[in-house]
Amino acid sequence: MLHDIMGIERALPWLALAAACGLAIGSVPMGVLLARLFGLPDPRAIGSGNIGATNMLRTGHRGAAAATLLLDALKGFLPVWLFLGWGDLAAQAAGLGALLGHCFSPWLRFRGGKGVATLIGIGFGLHWPVGLAVVLTWLAAAGLSRISSVGGLAAAAGLPLWLWGFGRWEAVLAGLCAAALVWLRHAGNIRRLLAGTEPRIGGGRR
């Protein structure tokens, strides 16, 4: 037991470094930068005020929205992939750091996105079949409900379940933490879903 505790204590600085690097990568506000690059309105000033792909789509520029989606996912994938050589815990710490940085970017006064695309990137980084399963969960839930936030919430809830299902038990706790953060960021959407006022994809209400 003492040996295990000492091992954890030695690993903590490296896990903190992995999380910090992940946070630095995740905190880059891709939506805001792409809006400036394409000469579009600042996503923080339109729609939901979110910096993610869904709100970027409200600018009317589908290319910018798609680029935001891919780059936000890459922010989750890249830190996990970079730190896999340090071990599973370091990769998970880097992924969670990236998600935290995306949701609470210090460049945006600790505001940010809701984390769905970044969570999907983390899933691909940990185990690509998990990432693919999370994407399919997202698409199926959004398609059936015609509500974007339902897809995001389902994708987040699916991450720890798919990690378990594909035998990546060592990452289930990290998946639960990531899912909880994304659900927390969707608190307003959940309230609107319960009230029946959450907008549908393409306009309208539930």
Q: Tens digit of pLDDT for each residue in 163-203?
A: 999 999 999 999 999 999 999 999 999 999 999 999 888 65
Closest to 33 measured CA to CA, from 119, 105, 96: 105
- Over 80: is that where the pLDDT of 5 sits? no
Distances (CA, A) of 126 to 40, 133, 149, 173: 34, 12, 24, 13
**Is residue 138 helix, strand or coil?**
helix
* More confident: 130 or 200: 130
Q: Give yes or no for a contact between 126 and 91, defined as CB atoms under 8 angstroms apart.
A: yes
Distances (CA, A) of 19 to 27, 40, 57, 168, 194: 12, 32, 30, 20, 35
pLDDT at site 202:
67
Give the mean model confidence (pLDDT) for residues 23-45. Answer: 95
pLDDT at site 60:
86
Q: In 48-171, where does DSSP find H-type helix? A: 53-57, 62-83, 88-103, 116-126, 128-145, 148-165
Question: How many residues does this entry show for the chain?
Answer: 206
Give the chain's mean pLDDT.
92
